[in-house]
Structure 1
Amino acid sequence: MKKIFNHKAIWTTALAGILSATSCTKDFDDMNVSPNSPTAIGAQYLLPAGIEASIDRYWGHRDRFERINIDAAELYVQHLTRNIYSNEGDDYTVSPALLANNWKGFFNDGLLNFQRIILQTNAESASPNANYEGVALVMRSWVFSLLTDMYGAIPYTEAIQGTSETPNYTPKYDAMDVVYAGLLNDLKVANEKLTVGGPAIAGDILYSGDILKWKKFANSLRLRLANRQAAKKSAESKAIMAEILADAAKFPIFTSNADNASLKCTAVLPGNNEWNQILIQGGRTDWNISKTLADKMNALGDTRITVYANPNKDGLYQGHANGLPDAIATNYLATSSTIGSAFTKAEAPEVIMTFSELNFILAEAALDGDITGDAKMYFEAGINASFGQYGLTTPAAYLTTVGPVTREKVLDQKWISLFAQGIEAWTEWRRTGFPVFPAPDPRAVLNNGGILPTRFNYPASEYSLNEAAVTAGRALNGTADDMKTKLWWAEK
């Protein structure tokens, strides 16, 4: 359609603009704002962006040198193994790019978004919304917990202040015990702020605005962290656990698999599961089930393996050893099981905490004397919840085969249930020493002195941009910046 111009009006307007130019330039900055280029992004947009970026990164990430889960943690804990490119994680080699990209990604794509939500919606802001603030506190706490559990001391009390009114581009590092204390407090505050029936939130792609489930996640995550530090801060951890478990109305926790914290993926790109993008859309066939996992599950008659893995050409669920050089590992392509479709289909959920894990936490705490309760009941509930998570029923003889509850068995079952959650399984192994993995295959070629990594190195970017702080942070971990240093909560 043609436009009809009123030339007289144009010239009159132009002349008026020329004559008044000197008088209105003081308002020019206010006038020259494009409605299509907003200077601030609302919480309803920051929240889904932060949730998806953080969980995708934790779960696997579709890009090479970003996949901290399946190119590192899932291999370390011997859920998965590789049949090619063993130097990408399976032999304990870690690319400097993987370390730098994930450090940057968790801070910039996750924490920064959650921090902005908190500043935009807290009680001192122009648009307070306690539920947005509470949700952001939970997610911020979860991401910080990942970072400190992977690297050790991290920027925390002075972190994510680069865009504040008084920016800090060289934040100090805090010791892990300081970080944990802050996270445990923040999760309690988050539970207090989250109000069922309170202000509505939009953009919640984790729980669809269900504030009760957010409260359950906050308190369940608080139990995870309290249990994780229990050997180092026994009295404090016992007090936290007692407080939560004594008042289910004030401190609700997960009560079924319906409460699991998991990102519901879609069949539409780019909302598909990250493993789907790598293995199906990308056609990558690099990963198989580890022999360690397959042997353990087969010995127990554990039917979850039919979900975790696909049968090989002989109808068997088998794996091959970790750390084999490519020339040997590729020989297992025809016999090693691939990852099950429950984890590789487009709409497969990306899970970050489950009812099963919570029960194993409580079983361990009961055995350790940190809580009063029936360890056997929690242990069996954890097993049943894990089977139920995949629509399975625990085999009739399974609990008998597993045998009486012990701390080692709790952690063994926790390791099985954490399949695909490599970072959590790796953290639990580094904390407790369980499960006890078999000796490496004699043909394996392993770096890091043959020692299964106990932490990640700080990225090189920190030494170039924040050298004094990272050097002090390295000292807080107690020794060199290497992958053999045991972190604060390590019990052995």
Structure 2
Amino acid sequence: MKRYKSLVFSMAVLAGVLQQSCTKNFLDYNTDGRGATPEEVQRDGYILTSALTGLQAWVVPLDVNTNQFVECLLGGSFSGYLADSNNGFNGKNFASYNPENGWARVAFNDIIPNIIIRHKKVKSVTNEPVPIAVADVIKVMAISRVTDIYGPIPYSKIGENGALEAPYDSQEEVYNKLFEELNAAIKVLSENLQQNFSPKADNVYAGNVVKWLKLANSLKLRLAMRISNVSPQKAKEMGEQALQQSTGLIVANADNAFVKPINRNPFRVIMYEYNNGDSRVSADITSFMNGYADPRREKYFTPSAFTTGTNGFFGLRSGIQIPSGNNIKLYTNMKVDESDDILWMNAAEVAFLKSEAALRGWQGVGGTAQSNYEEGIKLSFEQWGASGAESYLANTSNRPDSYVDPMGQFSYTGTPSRITINWSEAATQAEKMERIITQKWIANFPLGIEAWSEYRRTGYPKLMEVMQNNSGGLVSTSRMARRLAYPQEEYTENSKNVNDAVTNMLKGADNMGTDVWWAKK
């Protein structure tokens, strides 16, 4: 696979329309105009459709191979959402903190180039301000996820002066650039609220500008909260701007951001078809939801299929020595169909962000920490079509369950968390934060990269420690993985810049135990 530097350098001579592609041949261009002349293609918006939907396919990757590495094996393992169930992964996987370079490189070497070149493609096929602003929002969302995985990354200087070697930006510089780009997009969208564009060119909101503006504001609030422990003034400024922007945030499930799969939902393929399922639902989230008697379980998960005992919702523990045999397939799985849309951001998350903003004293929240916390839970129940939100909110005694493994090998004595559901104004700030983040974590399933980022920022939810830590002492079992190391290709093809980033920006060794800039807990 060619590197992103030569990829961007070559854009001037590349032609055709990018389509969704597998990780090994993202430079394959599809120039089939279905027999249309260039004039007809332009008239029908076919080029814009292909370019913009192709860009949308790389936020939460719709390519199955990339999705497996980034969303399931990486984000799923580190978030407490999913666990590896293929014993061929033993020894060198994310869950045991010892991934091969072929695993650790994917989010860097696949997502960065696809986002950069597809974003530039959108700008090359239209001069309309709205689709370009939408493309900017998409790019910000995608790049924020990549920098949260690695820390400093090449971003603002990719392709500068035709350079094949791209210098890195510090993570603080990346975030400053993301806010700058997001603010510019928000300005354009707010000035063009009536300028909806072709529904065919948009697999998220069918060209609805108001909904894109609400997503942009909500994303800005998410990113502001991410840096709140390390840059509180900047976070407050950006967060309050998002809270007070006139069009508002995603506050109703009708405005949730989901992308339509181009072919089949990749989670379905990975959880059911690859080796009869390469991942299963994690014991972490089932233990929390079992303890809470959460009515959303039957919406999220399939019951386990063990023939002895209760066939309830038993997830598989992450970071174990995965046993051989078919019993591993009996654990709870994700309930997902081939045609299901893939979540980017929902109203429940925004409500929990507002709850934390109120806790921090930010202006423009609307409501209290408690009212927004409770609204987040209600919105999540509504999103999933689950009943019983009011009684769930009133519960003062239920706590996460201890994990009793149906196979008897991976049980966990005690429980990492004792947090209850019902809001208590008399609770400490730390307890209120744990309550907010725990319920946001449940509501955000299966957004693993986002959940892992919030875990590193806050320390919540409290997850079970892995049983197999194969990092050789580089990763603390109690603090868990903090980032991914840079791909080995960076040290052979971009050595000066990656070494500069590690020495002057990362402020620590290039391994999974070093914190990214905003991670304080």
Alignment TM-score, normalising by the size of structure 1: 0.82
Distance 2:284 2:51 in 1: 41
CA distance in 2, matches of 1:330, 1:422: 27
The letter of the residue matching 1:461 is E
User: 2:132 aligns to what?
Assistant: 133
Contact 2:58 2:142 (C-alpha < 8 Å) held by counterparts = no
Inter-CA distance 223–419: structure 2 relative to 1 (3 Å threshold): same
Q: Tell me: CA distance 1:318–1:378, structure 2 relative to 1, closer, same or farther (3 Å).
A: same
1:124 corresponding residue in structure 2:
none
Task: Name the counterpart of 1:455.
Answer: 483
Distance 2:188 2:343 in 1: 24
Work out the CA distance in 2 between the residues paired with 1:55 and 1:274.
10
User: Counterpart amino acid of 1:445?
Assistant: Q
Paired residue for 1:304, among 296, 305, 311? Answer: 296
Q: Distance in 2 between matches of 1:244 and 1:335?
A: 45
Shift of 1:258: 1.3
Q: In the alignment, what sits opposite 2:180?
A: 185
1:461: Cα distance to partner? 1.5
Contact 1:384 1:394 in 2 (8 A): no
Equivalent position to 1:337, from 307, 332, 336: 332
Q: Which moved more, 1:476-485 or 1:395-404?
A: 395-404
Separation in structure 2 between the aligned mates of residue 385 and residue 414 of structure 1, nearest angstrom: 11
The partner residue of 2:242 within 238, 241, 244 is 244
Structure 1 residue 445: Cα displacement: 1.9
1 CA distance for matches of 2:55 and 2:226? 25
Which one of the candidate residues 250, 254, 261 is aligned to 1:258?
254
Partner of 1:79: 81
Alpha-carbon shift at residue 336 of structure 1 (Å): 2.2
Q: CA deviation at 1:43?
A: 2.8
8 Å Cα contact 1:149-1:427 kept in structure 2: yes
> Normalised by the size of structure 2, how large is the TM-score?
0.78
State the alpha-carbon separation in 1 of the partners of residues 136 and 181 from structure 2. Answer: 7
Greater shift in the superposed pair: 399-408 or 273-282: 273-282
Distance 1:112 1:264 in 2: 21
Q: Could you tell me the percent identity over the aligned residues? A: 26
2:492 corresponds in structure 1 to: 464
Cα distance 1:238–1:101, how it changes in 2: closer, same or farther (>3 A)? closer
Deviations 1:262-296 (A, max 9, x none): 1123xxxx611001222344453232222221111
Task: Say if 1:66 and 1:101, in contact at 8 Å, map to a contact too.
Answer: no
Structure 1: distance between partners of 2:508 and 2:193 = 46
* Residues 345-402 of structure 1: CA deviation (Å, up to 9, x unaligned): 1011111111111111111111122335400111011111112111113444211221
CA distance in 2, matches of 1:435, 1:200: 40
Larger radius of gyration: 1
1:213-268: per-residue Cα shift (whole Å, max 9, x none)?
A: 1111111100100111112222222222222323423xx21121111111123xxx
Tell me if the contact between 1:76 and 1:92 (Cα under 8 Å) persists in the aligned partners: no
Within 5 Å, give how 1:176-255 maps onto structure 2: 176-194=171-189, 195-198=192-195, 200-201=197-198, 202-249=200-247, 252-255=248-251
1:396/1:378 CA distance change after superposition, 3 Å: closer
2:228/2:236 contact within 8 Å kept: yes
The number of residue pairs the alignment matches comes to 433
Which residue of 321, 327, 330 maps to 1:325? 321
Against the structure 1 CA distance between its residues 287 and 423, is the aligned structure 2 distance closer, same or farther, given a 3 Å change threshold? same
Q: How big is each residue's C-alpha offset from its partner over 1:78-124, in whole Å with a ceiling of 9 and x where there is no partner?
A: 21223333443322232211222331221222221112323554xxx
Moved over 4 A (4+): 34-38, 329-332
2:56 is aligned to 51
Alpha carbons of structure 1 residues 65 and 423: separation in structure 2 relative to 1, 3 Å: closer
Moved more, 330-339 or 99-108: 330-339
For structure 2, the residue ranges without an aligned partner over 5 or more in a row are 1-31, 396-420, 425-431
Aligned to 2:94: 89
